[in-house]
């Protein structure tokens, strides 16, 4: 059985970097039906992609983003 895919939203945020995450989070908290799109499978934008592997910052960011 295929799950239904939602196709209508009040707000679409493009980009899962810090600004996109903040915008989507705030909009959702305000009750706006929000969807977030990013080209990568992990969120964080260029900040996430440019952190050295095994760094303390990387560990913290991974904990926040899941």
Q: How many domains does the chain have?
A: 1
Rg (CA), the chain: 14
Residue 29 counted as domain residue? yes
Element (H, E) at 62: helix 56-65
Structural domain contains residue 4? no
Classify residue 12 as exposed, middle or buried by CB count within 10 Å of its CB (0-12, 13-18, 19+).
exposed
The verdict on residue 44 lying in a domain is: yes
Q: Is the dihedral of CA 49, 25, 6, 65 positive or negative?
A: positive
In-domain check, residue 53: yes
Q: Name the residue range of residue 56's domain.
A: 11-65
Give just the sign of the alpha carbon dihedral 33, 38, 43, 44.
Answer: negative
Question: What pLDDT score was predicted for residue 56?
Answer: 65
Tens-digit pLDDT profile for the chain (66 aa)? Answer: 788 888 899 999 999 988 999 999 999 999 999 999 998 887 877 776 666 655 666 666 667 666
């Amino acid at each position: 059985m295929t799950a239904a895919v939602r196709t209508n939203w009040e707000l679409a945020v493009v980009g899962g970097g810090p600004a996109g995450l903040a915008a989507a989070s705030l909009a959702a908290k305000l009750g706006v039906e929000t969807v977030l799109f990013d080209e990568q499978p992990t969120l964080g934008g260029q900040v996430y992609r440019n952190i050295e592997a095994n760094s303390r910052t990387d560990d913290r960011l991974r904990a926040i983003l899941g």
